[in-house]
A = this chain, B = another copy of it.
Amino acid sequence: MLKLDFHPAGRHFLQIPGPSPVPDRILRAMSYPTIDHRGPEFGALGLSVLDGIKKIFKTAQPVVIYPASGTGAWEAALTNTLSPGDTVLMYETGHFATLWKKMAESLGLKPEFLGLPGIEGWRRGVQADQIEARLRADAGHTIKAVCVVHNETSTGVTSDIAAVRRAIDAAAHPALLMVDTISGLASADYRHDEWGVDVTVSGSQKGLMLPPGISFNAVSQKAIAASREAKLPRAFWAWTEIIDMNQQGYWPYTPNTNLLYGLAEALDMILGEGLDNVFARHQRLAAACRAAVQAWGLEIQCADPAVYSPVLTGVMMPDGVDADAVRKLIYERFDLSLGTGLGKVKGRMFRIGHLGDCNDLTLMAALTGCEMGLRLAGVPLAGTGVGAAMEYLTEHVARPALKAAA
Contact = CB atoms under 8 A, between A and B. Distances in A.
Interface string A371-397: 110011000000010110010011001
A364 B362 contact: no
Instruction: Please state the number of chain copies in the assembly.
Output: 4
A405 interface: yes
A376 B333 CA distance: 31
A269 B10 CA distance: 11
Given A2-B265, A40-B331, 4 more contacts: A4-B32, A22-B34, A28-B28, A212-B256
Contact of A368 (B84, B390, B402): B390
Contact of A14 (B3, B33, B369): B33
Interface residues of A, number: 120
A144 to B, nearest CB: 16
A275 interface: no
Interface stretch (A64-72, A111-119, A156-164): A64-72
B335 A361 contact: yes
Interface stretch (A194-202, A231-239, A313-321): A231-239
Contact of A4 (B41, B337, B366): B41
A290 B41 CA distance: 29
A22 B29 CA distance: 14
A34 B332 CA distance: 18
Nearest to A210: B34
B107 A233 contact: yes
A257 interface: yes
A253 B70 contact: yes
Contacts of A224: none
A163 to B, nearest CB: 29
Query: Max chain B CB contacts within 10 Å: which of A14, A34, A369, A372?
Result: A34
Interface in A30-77: 30-41, 44-45, 48, 66-72, 74-75
B333 A401 contact: yes
Query: Shortest 4 CB-CB distances between A and B: which pairs?
Result: A10-B359, A3-B406, A68-B68, A364-B368
Contacts of A7: 359, 401-403
A61 B354 CA distance: 41
A72 B256 CA distance: 12
A138 interface: no
B8 A281 contact: yes
Nearest to A66: B68
26 contacts: A2-B29, A2-B48, A2-B406, A4-B35, A6-B403, A7-B403, A8-B273, A10-B358, A10-B359, A13-B361, A14-B34, A21-B33, A22-B33, A22-B258, A24-B33, A74-B235, A75-B235, A84-B233, A106-B234, A211-B256, A213-B256, A335-B359, A335-B360, A360-B369, A368-B368, A372-B393
